[in-house]
Amino acid sequence: MTAIPLGVPRRLVEFTIDGKEARVPEGSTVLDACRAAGKDIPTLCHGDTLTPKNACRVCVVEVEGSRTLVPACSRKAEPGMTVHTDTERARHSRKVVLELLASSVDLSTTPQVAGWIKEYEAKPDRFGPEAARLNEAPKIDNDLYVRDYDKCILCYKCVDACGDQWQNTFAISVAGRGFDARIAVEHDAPLTDSACVYCGNCIEVCPTGALSFKSEFDMRAAGTWDESQQTETTTVCAYCGVGCNLTLHVQDNEIVKVTSPHDNPVTHGNLCIKGRFGYQHVQNRG
């Protein structure tokens, strides 16, 4: 009989969130506990497959005894902690973060953000039309994906996915300082002259659509991108024996993009160029 290895049982941590008792496995974050309790804490730089970067601070909560607000996405739950998620101080901080981001970055393709802006009564317009923006045209230098840094919130998720957390290609990094800081490949070259291997793992983690499939970019520009008309089917990649899971997004009987389930214990949402982009032969029905 084959022995099935079981995960090491984890101790439960007990604490309170908004006056109610919470119990989560040791090692869970405050965000994990809040989500388990059904609370909608906004997040942008948090990635379920990446180590927290604490870059955006839109997820802050109040913890009794802590002088500063605490990022829920990275703070581990501790026994006896008293967490308040909806205080005036936390709400005000989230509001200002949303205002600063939305006044300087195009968040039109960031899921959920419009709802948060409404909920927190954020007014990005109050900084006036002169608020600093990148004002840069999308970089379209290959047939697979587009980089539109007007939509970039500098969350570093793409850098971490391309670097030591997953892909180990290190094709992209942060260049410049202060307002000039931006994500770039070495020497700000076109992607085609860089170390990029077109795995698309950076697109998978980008929270704003700054990195997008060329297929999606073109359809959005043509006004034909319609997620309500898309189906998602998860299947097994046929290119090699690893057996990665592919989720095919299909609209009008055509594959429009390929993602991969983040909860897969082998690939964690990552793919190679063939699995991510090599689907045209499926559609060649002529």
Q: Is 96 in the site for ligand FES (CB under 6 A)?
A: no
Which does residue 213 touch among ligand SF4, ligand FES, none (CB within 5 to 8 A, set by kind)? none
Q: Is 155 in the site for ligand SF4 (CB under 6 A)?
A: yes
Least Cα distance to 173 among 165, 183, 160 occurs for: 183
- From the CB of 158, what's the least distance to ligand FES, in Å? 15
- From CA 157, how far away is CA 163, in angstroms rounded? 10
Q: Is 161 in the site for ligand SF4 (CB under 6 A)?
A: yes
Site string for ligand SF4, 193-232 (x = CB under 6 A): ---xxxxxxx--xxxx-xx---------------------
Which does residue 90 touch among ligand SF4, ligand FES, none (CB within 5 to 8 A, set by kind)? none
| Side-chain half-sphere CA neighbours of 106 within 13 A | 14
Q: Token pair for residue 129? A: 């039309």
- Provide the residue type at 44 as one letter: L
- From CA 184, how far away is CA 159, in angstroms rounded? 9
- From the CB of 101, what's the least distance to ligand FES, in Å? 11
Closer residue to ligand FES in complex, CB, 57/139:
57
Which does residue 122 touch among ligand SF4, ligand FES, none (CB within 5 to 8 A, set by kind)? none
- From CA 283, how far away is CA 30, in angstroms rounded? 45
Least Cα distance to 62 among 37, 36, 35, 94 occurs for: 94
- From the CB of 115, what's the least distance to ligand FES, in Å? 16
Cβ(247)–Cβ(258) below 8 Å: yes
Query: Which of 153, 219, 246, 271 is the binder for ligand SF4 (CB under 6 A)?
Result: 153
Q: Token pair for residue 91? A: 């709400």
Which residues are at the interface with ligand FES (CB under 6 A)? 43-46, 54-59, 71, 73
